[in-house]
Amino acid sequence: MDPQQIYAIERPHPKLLTLYILRSLVLPPFSLLGLPVLYFRYHTLRYKFDDEGISMSWGILFRRQVNLTYRRIQDIHLTSGILQRWLGLADIHIQTASGSAAAEMTIEGLLEFEQVRDYLYQRMRGTQESSRGSRTSAGAVAAPVASEASGELVAVLGEIRDELRLARAAIEQRPTGGEG
């Protein structure tokens, strides 16, 4: 999928509202409270994909916004329940190294969830490889300094080795206290 098509995704698919309605009907006692909350969540849910990362926001009274850069993404999971599969939807769970077992962001209501997941993996790997490349170039600059220090290190380790050999020989030559 073309990155421009991913960048064009701003709202969940209308099937997400259908999913919310079906979920609230499964638990009738909670449908009076849950359905309005899910309705407003659907209507305020916004996504923004760009070159730097992902942004997701929702809420009326309590507005919530989550911003993730591709560099912070550690793992991506797709989950899809029976109702979601029937509607052609899935949830994309994005995890970071935040120390929490729960996903940092859950993108829901997309029909092109596999393409978005593949795009996120591609961007996640691209930022990690570029950061590895910058570390390699920094390591190449530090190599001459490391070679000078390694010469001194080898000399010190050689001295330590010689001292240990002398200590071992002295211990082996010492008479044991049990004989006599």
Q: What is 106-165 written as a DSSP string? A: EEEEES-HHHHHHHHHHHHHHHHHHHHHHHHHHHHHHHHHHHHHHHHHHHHHHHHHHHHH
Q: Which H or E run contains 33?
A: helix 28-44
DSSP string of 40-57, one letter each residue: HHHHH-EEEE-SSEEEEE
Q: Are 126 and 70 in contact (CB under 8 A)?
A: yes
Q: Which residues of the chain have pLDDT under 50?
A: 137-143, 145, 180
What pLDDT is recorded for position 97? 84
Query: Helix 28-44 vs helix 15-26: angle between axes, to the nearest 10 degrees?
Result: 160
Q: Which residue in 160, 16, 12 sits closest to 84, CA to CA? A: 16
Which domains, and CATH codes, for the chain? Answer: 3-134 (2.30.29)
Q: Using CA atoms, how far apart are residues 6 and 32, in angstroms rounded to an integer?
A: 35
pTM over 0.75? The answer is no
Distant-in-sequence, close-in-space partners of 107: CB < 8 Å, separation ≥ 6? 47, 54, 56, 91, 92, 94, 113, 116
What pLDDT is recorded for position 101? 78
What pLDDT is recorded for position 175? 81
Q: Using CA atoms, how far apart are residues 113 and 16, in angstroms rounded to an integer?
A: 13
Q: Using CA atoms, how far apart are residues 5 and 14, in angstroms rounded to an integer?
A: 18
Q: Using CA atoms, how far apart are residues 26 and 81, in angstroms rounded to an integer?
A: 14
What pLDDT is recorded for position 124? 86
Condensed to tens digits (0 to 9), the pLDDT of residues 7-22 reads 999 999 999 999 998 8
